[in-house]
Amino acid sequence: MKIKSEHLKHLKEAIDSTLAKYPNLVEEYEQGRFPRSDKVTDLQRRFCFDLSYGSGLNKFICEELYTYMDDSHLYTALKKVCPVVTKRY
């Protein structure tokens, strides 16, 4: 995985903080209770990137991570720190 340990820690802390504020978020995604859920082909990817955006990580991702990573590396890191979601709708 191509991410610095301190950057992975920052991702994890921001994501954990958001999940603590919204404890039903995983369940909502699994049940398709989010915008345009009918168009989703990869629920885990959608969840990870939505959660990173909702956690306010866009500036950090653009200014720090994208200096040495691309989307595939970012997704690998996000999968490590985000809960697994299973499509149930």
Q: Is residue 89 part of a domain?
A: no
User: Cα–Cα distance between 43 and 9 in angstroms, integer?
Assistant: 24
Question: Would you write out the chain's pLDDT as a tens digit for each of its 89 residues?
Answer: 899 999 999 999 999 999 999 999 999 999 999 999 999 999 999 999 999 999 999 999 999 999 999 999 999 999 999 999 999 99
Around Cβ 25, how many Cβ atoms within 10 Å? 19
Examine residue 77 and state whether it is found in any structural domain, yes or no: yes
Structural domain contains residue 63: yes
Global pTM value: 0.93
Domains held by the chain: number: 1
Evaluated on CA atoms 63, 8, 85, 51, the torsion sign reads: negative
Structural domain contains residue 86: no
Structural domain that includes position 27 = 5-81
